[in-house]
Amino acid sequence: MTRVVAGIPVGVRQSGSLRPAARRVCGGAGADGLFIEPPKRSRMETVTVARDVSASPERVRDAISDVESFMLAAGFDEVDVEGDALRIVNHVGLFEIELDLVVEDRADAALAYHQRDGIFREMETVYTVEETADGTHVEATTEYALAAKIVGPVFDGTVVKRQRRKELNAQFDFLDAL
């Protein structure tokens, strides 16, 4: 028997023993006979794009910090920035994708944000900037896990990876033009 307590599936002893799956998950039960099944981890996909641009790191950071212009450079159809909240809308094939994002203040990144609401179970993007002898090395990494309800033959991880590479390359083209 499984019940839910505070949003967590909880199993109870059946005939004095744990169900076989429960023994594998937690190795036993507490004195109260309850065990908690840990949440399943999302399988994360990664897209990374890097490029050397001739502009100085300061110019690149300034261009990236103009978040609205930088996101529009990716080719998104709509970009709304309000404080640390970022909303983007994009049409990809038959789909309209809308993401509510939160911009993070991170010392190790020129820009970092994660999804608050949208099509992903989880999503985070981090842009780093490093000075080189000839300008700046820029790298962007997006890690994401698709929500099960949207995965299918028409929209899958391959489509997301291809689209994300296209968006990141468009942003780096924007930085190349500085």
Evaluate if residue 101 carries a pLDDT over 80: yes
Residue 23 forms part of a structural domain: no
d(CA 91, CA 164): 13
Per-residue pLDDT at 26: 41
Residue 37 forms part of a structural domain: no
Evaluate if residue 89 carries a pLDDT over 90: yes
Q: Of 29-33, 83-87, 157-161, where does the model show the most confidence?
A: 83-87
Structural domain count of the chain: 1
Per-residue pLDDT at 19: 37
Burial class of residue 111 (count of CB atoms within 10 Å of its CB; 0-12, 13-18, 19+): buried
Of the pLDDT bands very low, low, confident and very high (cuts 50, 70, 90), residue 17 is very low
Residue 77 forms part of a structural domain: yes
Domain containing residue 80: CATH number = 3.30.530.20
* CB-based contact 138:58 (threshold 8 Å): no
Residue 11 forms part of a structural domain: no
Quick one: which of 108, 124, 113, 111 has its CA closest to 45? 124
Of the pLDDT bands very low, low, confident and very high (cuts 50, 70, 90), residue 158 is confident
Q: Which domain holds residue 150?
A: 44-176
Residue entry with tokens 């990876």: 161
pLDDT digits (tens, 9 = 90+) for 104-156: 999 999 999 999 999 899 999 999 999 999 999 999 999 999 876 655 555 67
Residue 6 forms part of a structural domain: no
Residue 72 forms part of a structural domain: yes
Per-residue pLDDT at 51: 98
Residue 106 forms part of a structural domain: yes
- Cα 57–Cα 73–Cα 104 angle in degrees, nearest 5: 60
Mean pLDDT in residue range 37-51: 77
Q: Which two tokens stand for residue 88?
A: 């983007």
- Report the chain's C-alpha Rg in angstroms: 22
Residue 108 forms part of a structural domain: yes
Residue of 95 and 37 predicted with greater confidence: 95
Per-residue pLDDT at 93: 78
